[in-house]
Structure formats: structure tokens, C-alpha cells
Amino acid sequence: MGETFQYWRREIETMPRAELLALQLEKLKMAVGWALRTPFYAERLPRAGINSADDIKTLADLRRIPFTTKQDLRGAFPYGFLGVPREDVVRLHASSGTTGTPTTIYFNRADLSRWSGYVARSIYGTGCTKNDVFQNMITYGLFTGGLGFHAGGEEVGMLVIPSGAGNTARQFRFMQDFGTTVVHATPSFLLHVESIMRAEGVSRESLRLRKAFAGAEPYSEDTRRRIEKLLNIDVYNSYGLSEMNGPGVAFECQAKDGLHLWEDGYIGEIINPDTLDPLDGGESGELVLTCLCREATPILRYRTRDLSGFYTEPCSCGRTHRRLRRITARTDDMLIINGVNLFPSQIEEVIMSMREAGNNYLIVVEKEGMLDRLTVKTEIQAEFFTDDTRPLNALKEKIRKTLQASITINPRVELHESGSLPVSEGKARRVQDLRPKDV
């Protein structure tokens, strides 16, 4: 590192907690006022005894507001969460629909400018400046990662290349021609960049790359280290979701130790996803977020289904906004295999920590008779791939045993040559659940 910390809005980012909480309360009142103008909350909030912004007197009153779920958003499609006249809306975005029908979020001009402010703050906090050349190698369009990062990068004053995802040969040409120093991509894609470079004959020395923002899907600390080593760059974890605008909700600073949730724009809570009780002691649970910065589509106490928790100690960078732990999984990712709960991230952790394992893997679940069958297909590093079946079988057994020790399920393991498993340009689809749905 060796860099000194830099702040985009120092007075807000390092604001004493008491002042920050007072600011949150003001903004929460405003957000509740905005929400009451939407058809959805105009009905939902009075039932909870909240008829005006003045019914929110302290931050503890947040807990009087009922949770909002993805189903609520879908049920109110298309305009049930709209809180401003249609003609004041200037943009819409939609979630990528990982788990079903997409949901739509609307922005007015002020919303867009607030959002890009949080993204700019996030980007600047990783040490980027207007001297950087930023290649946004992620899907543009309805997905918020494209335009969201784009606007934030411009606000910082970087040269932004809207390269989008895919077309890797051209990506490297852009990097060489314009001297790209920072990229944004999914971690699963970044894991492949080095091998694509080799295939395309692009040398690391011909690039000026020094940082990457990686997000949109869960990844482990080992995956981060792998990417950093493969490309000799710093990787910063970026968290966001379209319901909370998109990127710029929580982001790692130069300390790279947890993601600062921008608490002047979002209120974060952790709850037990089964009992819905608050978890206030730094435990892991479901993250619930309230958006304080979007008038056109206010969303209060949204159950993200993402699993995380807050660090209790302050960060070495001096920011007072609390840090979230790396988001390991979403509650709806959980697989139940012969009665045993399994998150795909548990498999990723094992794979990425084994030096023989390659950079891509796939999880397949099938029904075999009455039982569920888990198969982990993993690429292995080129140097371990041989025509001799004996060392390969030994390696397969080693991976199987390591997985079993960690997940308590005995998986079938398949080894694949490096670069042979499918790579997705957007969010990785690592799990194929082939079991009949009604069983």
C-alpha cells in the first residue's frame, strides 16, 4: 500500500458517530415523507401507525416500519413504489433478475446526482484520482453496474472508457491504447483475465493496470488474493444492489478490510433471517437496508437476503461509517443436499485455497434414486494436468477429501483442464440444480 488515505467528502466520511446518527435521523424522516407519497407505503405505513414523517422521532422508530421484500416490489410493479410525478422521472434501472422477474427502480435528477456522489466517494476512497483511466468492463443497460460506475468515475474526473463486458481482445487493445489503470468487473471474470491475456499474447508489462473493483457477486478472500497475484493489482470489494440504487452502497477503502456502508445514504441493520430479530452485536445475519437518498423510489427496511455482519472496531482509515464483512452468500443461494445446508461459497473457499485448483468451477446437484448427488467440477492449474491418470486420481481424491472435511457432504469431483469450463460475462452461474422441482 504505502498510500495515504484520501477522502472525497472528509467532513461526512469522518463525521463523529453522534453527528452521523443525527444526520441519519433527519434523512430518515425525509425518506419516510417521500415513501408516504408512494401507493405502496401510503397503505403500508399507516397500518403500522406511521402517518407522517413526524411520527419518526428517534432512530429507534425505524423498527416500527415493516420490512419490505422482493415480493413486495414485484407485487407493486410497475409504479407502486413511485413517489414523484411520472414526468419528473429521468431514468429507470432493473435488477438483473438472478432469482426471478426483475424489479424496477426509478430516479429523478437529484436521485441520480446523489447516487453518483456515493459511487465517486467509493472510487476516490480506493486511492483513484482524475489521473486514472477507468475501463468499466461490466454490462451496461438496465444493470446498474454499468451506468452507476460510469457516472461515479466521471464525477471523480477519471477518463472513463465505457467498454462494457465481453469482447476481450478489444478490451486489451483499449487498455494498451489508453493506458487503463483501473477496471471494474465481476470477480469470476477477473479470474480469467490473466489466462485470456496469455492466449491473446498480451504481456503484463504492456499494461498500466494497478487496481480493480470487483463485485456484483460473492467471492472469497482467497479469490481476491488470487486475482491480485495473477494480475499484480489491488482488488477492492464493491457492494450494491439495484433496490439501493446500485454500486456505491458499501465499498472497501485503501485498508481493504471490510466495506464501509455509506451511512449518510443508507441505514444498515442485521437480522436473524428466520426469527427476524435484530442482531446488534456484530453477528452475521441478513442485511436489511433503508435507502435515504432516493426520492422517486423510496425503499425502507429492504430485506436484501445478503448475509453479512458489521465489524465492531473502527477502521484504520479514520472513516466513521461502519464496515460490513465480505458478503459471503445470499439466503436464497442455500442448497439443501440430503438434508444438509450448503452455500456455494463454502465450496469456493475450498477450491480457491488449494493451489492445484484452477480459476473456474461448477456445482451440479442431481437426483439419483432417492438421494441428492453433489458433483463439483473444477478446473486445475495447467502444471498439474497430465495424461497420466495416477497423479490426477490422487489429486481428485485430495480435493474430494478436503471438500468433504469442510462441507460434511461427500461430493463427486471432476477435474477439468484449465480454461475448459464455461465463463460468463456477467454474474457467474456456478450452480446447476438439476433436481426435479416438486420433490
Asked if 186 interacts with ligand ADP (CB under 6 A), we say: no
Asked if 23 interacts with Zn ion (CB under 5 A), we say: no
Least distance in angstroms from the C-beta of 304 to ligand ADP? 5
Which residue in the set 147, 185, 317, 352 belongs to the binding site for Zn ion (CB under 5 A)? Answer: 317
- Whether 365 and 433 have beta carbons less than 8 Å apart is answered as yes
Please return the burial class of 296, using the count of CB atoms within 10 Å of its CB with bins 0-12, 13-18 and 19+: buried
- Whether 107 and 116 have beta carbons less than 8 Å apart is answered as no
**Residues from 112 through 151 that contact ligand ADP (CB under 6 A):** 143
Please return the burial class of 131, using the count of CB atoms within 10 Å of its CB with bins 0-12, 13-18 and 19+: exposed
Pull the grid cell for residue 59. 432512530
Asked if 250 interacts with Zn ion (CB under 5 A), we say: no
Cis amide leading into 78 (omega within 30): yes
Q: How many CB atoms lie within 10 A of CB 425?
A: 17
**Residues from 283 through 322 that contact ligand ADP (CB under 6 A):** 304, 306
Give the residues across from 215 on adjacent strands. Answer: 238
CA–CA distance, 389 with 391 (Å, rounded to integer): 6
**Contact of residue 95 among ligand ADP, Zn ion, none (CB under 5-8 Å per partner type):** ligand ADP
Asked if 255 interacts with Zn ion (CB under 5 A), we say: yes
Choices 214-222, 232-240, 314-322, 353-361 (CB under 5 A): range interacting with Zn ion: 314-322
**Contact of residue 215 among Zn ion, ligand ADP, none (CB under 5-8 Å per partner type):** ligand ADP
CA–CA distance, 205 with 210 (Å, rounded to integer): 12
Query: What contacts 84, CB < 8 A, 6 or more positions away?
Result: 37, 106, 108, 295, 296
Comparing CB distances to ligand ADP, the nearer of 95 and 116 is 95
**Residues from 390 through 409 that contact Zn ion (CB under 5 A):** none
CA 88 to mean position of chain CA atoms: 29
Which residue in the set 82, 120, 241, 352 belongs to the binding site for ligand ADP (CB under 6 A)? Answer: 241
Least distance in angstroms from the C-beta of 319 to Zn ion? 5
**Contact of residue 139 among Zn ion, ligand ADP, none (CB under 5-8 Å per partner type):** none
**Residues from 65 through 104 that contact ligand ADP (CB under 6 A):** 95-98
Q: Which residues contact ligand ADP by CB under 6 A?
A: 95-98, 143, 215-218, 237-242, 304, 306, 327, 330
Q: Which residues contact Zn ion by CB under 5 A?
A: 253, 255, 315, 317, 319
